[in-house]
Amino acid sequence: MDNIRFNAVAAAVSRKVRKIEPTSGKISDYFGELIFNESVMKEYLAGEAFQKVMNAVKHGDKIDRRIANQVASSLKAWAMSKGATHYTHWFHPLTGSTAEKHDAFISPTDDGKAIENFHGSELVQQEPDASSFPSGGIRNTFEARGYTAWDPTSPAFLMDNTLCIPTIFVSYTGEALDYKTPLLKAITAIDKAAVDVCQYFDKRIKKVYPTLGWEQEYFLVDSALYYARPDLVLTGRTVFGHASAKDQQLSDHYFGSIAERAKQFMKEFEIEAHRLGIPVKTRHNEVAPNQFECAPVFEEVNLSVDHNQLLMHIMQRIARNHDLTVLLHEKPYAKVNGSGKHNNWSLSTDTGENILTPGRTTKTNLRFLTFLVNILKAVNENADLLRASVASAGNDLRLGANEAPPAIVSVFVGSHLSGVLDDIETRVNPGKISKELQTGTNLSFPKVPEILLDNTDRNRTSPFAFTGNKFEFRAVGASDTCSNAMSVLNLIVADQLTAFKSEVDKLIDHKVKKDEAIIKVVQNYIAGSKNIRFEGNSYSKEWETEAGERGLSDLKTTPEALKVLISGKTIDLFTRNNVLTGRELKARYEIMLENYTKKIQIESRVLGDLAKNHIIPTAIKYQNLLVENSKGLKEVLDAQAFIKLSKNQIQAIKEISHHIAGINMLVEEMTNERRVANRMDSAEQKAKAYAKKVHPYFDVIRSHVDKLELLVDDNLWPLPKYRELLFIK
């Protein structure tokens, strides 16, 4: 019978590069041509409607039915002029991906024909029969009502002749069933809290919005090789595979010249991204072979999150044109780097400033310091929540695996800022503030001061690092939506800023001068958040020990990490800021646990199946060859020579038997543990059992299989090997 692996390898190496013809014109000629953006709206909407939509986008004003009808008919006209036949509400259910249900624009007419229609009511709200989306018990399946509602802050776009309208997804009773709703609420919370604090410094500031620039890492693999690995197809990662003799040890891939096939793929998906207004800017090779990264220019966070979801989708679609498959899993291959999605985050004002840009010298900028210190405090007090916001089965394999930040949350601010903070904490007398620290000083933000550029030595190991004029949250997983991490980050900072303001106001009420009050509270916060600051190597063993001594948590598995979602403190925090209710949080907790359980369950089944039905039969086949061989030797050799010359074969036969027995026994044990876990009623107990009882078998079974890979004749091995998956370009 044909060896699937060799067929796949042959197909992969014989691929021709599919050249992408240069598109006519400059990127700016087609950038955003598939979105209903401000300039298109101006063209298609009457003055009043345009103004109302802009007010909704900028100030969250409501849009009434009359205006919605106008917007809908303009949207339809625009979309049809570009060839659209269908429309859909595009939303982010708690599966983590995006969902759409297409409807044609048509309505039948009396004369047996049809006309294209699209009403305001269809734009504003839909009721998808979405009973199979996870709801954590909020929405019973028999009462399958879930509603999607238009989010005008993210522009409608065209994909494959379908008009896509970004929406939120809520239950009949108004509870959030998606990732967008809490994000929008967290954005509202931070806007209010940050504006209130900005008002101490600059009365002109009326709006603050968070910004996000993500960096998407991914692997490419030839589709033939991909389909020859059932584990990649079903779980997104390889559950077996011995390390290739060469992988990333020479660091010769990082920032290297991009292989032609990969480059053509990038070109094509970037064109698609640009047409959809996604400002993709940077592309490069990453550390591991066949690993890459792409990053856009940062945008307002809600839009940026939508763009990331869209981009992941586009990449996967375009890859097919090149016979490539995009692996977004956090750890597709053991022993080489996994993939993350750094979330660069900052706060912008409606006066056009980035709040996290320090002044000419840091000391002249009390506003910058105030925000910086509030962020430190927020992370210090909610480190577990940030950890939970990036928890997933895939990310568990990456966090702390020597190439990614550990599961321990800490903040890096650089030695210069560290010094500034220590200085302010210990040396500044709030009663006698130097001129440069006062709020009345003319605060200009000309550019990042040289001193900072020199001093934010880029600590690559920190999970949460200040990088000159933004924070970089590096623990987010490559396949994850950014919205969880961004909802939590914006929420905790919002809550912290609110607390800050009330403390300062209280002092002011007690006749303390404003600047003095601010400095006093800032000093307290510096002292109170030292624990979270760490400037050293976060990948080191020493840090694990030190973090333990500091009392920082190191929650290695998803079920442990998620627990904080339902603590009283978390529920208070979310409800106080009107982001999620206790009921919604509990539902989310259950959904995420179930999701984890299912992922591990699938991996465990795939692993068991591959081990028993692919690996063991192959090992036995090879073992039989060895047995035949030694029988033959016995026939032709005298007894003494036989003993001497068949030693290696006999040894190999024994070793193979040992691994086969090991695999059989361990797979059996793992299956039993799965059965036990499956009988558990509580989602929490079940997830824990999968993490602690089932998952530990993966590595031990793998080590037997990977040893067999080295023993068995290469000609018989059925699964594409790492050297093929990682190096065929």
Catalog residues that contact Mg ion under the rule CB under 5 A. Answer: 215, 342
Closer to Mg ion by Cβ: residue 161 or 402: 402
Looking at residue 690, what DSSP letter applies?
A: I
Going from the C-alpha of 466 to that of each of 203, 393, 423, the distances in angstroms are: 27, 27, 18
Q: Identify which of residues 342 and 533 has a Cβ nearer to Mg ion in the complex.
A: 342
Say which entry of ligand ADP, Mg ion, none residue 297 contacts (CB below 5 to 8 A, set by partner kind).
ligand ADP
Partnered with residue 579 across adjacent β-strands are: none
- Pick 52 or 398: Cβ nearer Mg ion: 398
Closest approach of ligand ADP to the CB of residue 353, in Å: 10
Minimum CB–partner distance for residue 295 and ligand ADP (Å): 4
> Could you tell me the smallest distance in angstroms from the CB atom of residue 344 to ligand ADP?
3
What's the closest the beta carbon of residue 470 comes to ligand ADP, in angstroms? 4
Stated as kind and residue range, the H or E segment containing 701 is helix 696-711
* Adjacent-strand bridge partners of 472: 344, 465
Residues 6+ apart with CB under 8 A from 223: 319, 320, 323, 324, 325
CA distance 128 to 144: 9
Shortest CB 255 distance to ligand ADP, Å: 11
Contact 474, 342 (CB under 8 A): yes
Choose which of 136, 146, 152, 213 interacts with ligand ADP (CB under 6 A): 213
Least Cβ distance, residue 266 to ligand ADP (angstroms)? 16
What is d(CA 147, CA 575) in angstroms, rounded to the nearest whole number?
22
Closest separation in Å from C-beta 214 to Mg ion: 9
Based on the shown chain and the rule CB under 6 A, indicate whether residue 488 belongs to the binding site for ligand ADP: no
Q: Look at residue 296 and give the partner it binds from ligand ADP, Mg ion, none, a contact being a CB closer than 5 to 8 Å depending on partner kind.
A: ligand ADP
Helix axes 514-528, 483-509, angle to 10 degrees: 130
CB of 306 to ligand ADP, least distance (A): 15
Per-residue interface string for the shown chain with ligand ADP, residues 468-487, x marking contact by CB under 6 A: -xx-----------------
Q: Would you say the C-alpha torsion 35, 38, 40, 44 has a positive or negative sign? A: positive
Helix (H) or strand (E) holding 299: strand 299-300
Stretch of residues binding ligand ADP (CB under 6 A), selected from 210-218, 222-230, 367-375, 575-583: 210-218
By a kind-dependent CB cut-off of 5 to 8 A, residue 298 interacts, out of ligand ADP, Mg ion, none, with ligand ADP
- Alpha carbon of 116 to those of 110, 546, 580: distances in Å? 14, 66, 39
| 167, 181, 211, 483: residue in contact with ligand ADP (rule CB under 6 A) | 211
Q: What are phi and psi of 228, to 5 degrees?
A: -85, 0
Query: What type of residue sits at position 529?
Result: S
At its nearest, how many Å lie between ligand ADP and the CB of residue 479? 18
Q: DSSP of 395-447, one letter per residue?
A: HHTTTTSSSS--SB--EE--HHHHHHHHHHHHH--TTS--GGGSTTS-----S
Angle (nearest 5°) at CA 281 between 277 and 283: 130
Q: Strands 162-171 and 86-91, how do they pair?
A: parallel
The item of ligand ADP, Mg ion, none sharing an interface with residue 212, based on CB under 5 to 8 Å by kind, is ligand ADP
Q: Which does 470 bind (CB under 5 to 8 A by kind): Mg ion, ligand ADP, none?
A: ligand ADP
346 binds, among Mg ion, ligand ADP, none (CB under 5 to 8 A by kind): ligand ADP
Decide whether 70 or 462 has the Cβ nearer to ligand ADP: 462
339 binds, among ligand ADP, Mg ion, none (CB under 5 to 8 A by kind): none
How deeply is 680 buried, as exposed, middle or buried, from its count of CB atoms within 10 A (0-12, 13-18, 19+)? Answer: middle
Number of residues located near ligand ADP, criterion CB under 6 A? 15
Give the shortest CB-212-to-ligand ADP separation in angstroms: 6
| Contacting range for ligand ADP; rule: CB under 6 A; set: 2-10, 155-163, 212-220, 701-709 | 212-220
Q: Which stretch binds ligand ADP (CB under 6 A): 211-219, 436-444, 634-642, 669-677?
A: 211-219
Q: What is the token pair recorded at 389?
A: 């916001």
Window 279-318: contact mask with ligand ADP (x via CB under 6 A): ----------------xxxx--------------------
Q: How far is the CB of 589 from ligand ADP (least distance, A)?
A: 29
Q: Give the H or E element holding residue 162.
A: strand 162-171
Question: Least distance (Å) from ligand ADP to the CB of residue 282?
Answer: 6
CA quadruple 275, 166, 394, 396: dihedral sign:
positive
Within 8 A by CB and 6+ apart from 170, the residues are 146, 147, 149, 176, 177, 178, 181
Query: Per CB under 6 A, which of residues 334..363 are in contact with ligand ADP?
Result: 342, 344-346, 354
* Selected range binding ligand ADP among 207-215, 223-231, 511-519, 625-633, rule: CB under 6 A: 207-215
Q: Which residue, 53 or 212, has its beta carbon nearer to ligand ADP?
A: 212
The residues in 84-123 that bind ligand ADP, with binding defined as CB under 6 A, are: none
Tokens 């400037």 sit on residue: 535
Q: How many CB atoms lie within 10 A of CB 279?
A: 17
Torsion of CA 632, 633, 636, 641, to 10 degrees: -170
Say which entry of ligand ADP, Mg ion, none residue 52 contacts (CB below 5 to 8 A, set by partner kind). Answer: none
What is the nearest approach in angstroms of Mg ion to the Cβ of residue 474?
Answer: 7
Which of 212, 294, 385, 494 is the binder for ligand ADP (CB under 6 A)? Answer: 212
Contacts for 127 with CB less than 8 Å, ≥ 6 apart:
145, 146, 147, 148
Nearer to Mg ion, 155 or 463 (CB): 463
Partner whose binding site includes residue 382, from Mg ion, ligand ADP, none (CB under 5 to 8 Å by kind): none
Nearer to Mg ion, 200 or 464 (CB): 464
Least gap, CB of 412 to ligand ADP (angstroms): 13
What string of H, E and C letters represents the secondary structure of 514-575?
Answer: HHHHHHHHHHHHHHHCHHHECCCCCCCHHHHHHHHHHCCCECCCHHHHHHHHHCHHHHHHHH
Indicate the residue whose CB is closest to ligand ADP. Answer: 213
* 376 vs 482, beta carbon nearer ligand ADP: 482
CB 213 to ligand ADP: min, Å? 3
Q: Which is nearer to ligand ADP, 470 or 501 (CB)?
A: 470
Q: Give the DSSP H/E element, type plus range, for residue 348.
A: strand 341-349
Short-list 562, 589, 556, 359, CA closest to 452: 359
Interacting residue ranges for ligand ADP, rule: CB under 6 A: 211-213, 215, 295-298, 342, 344-346, 354, 469-470
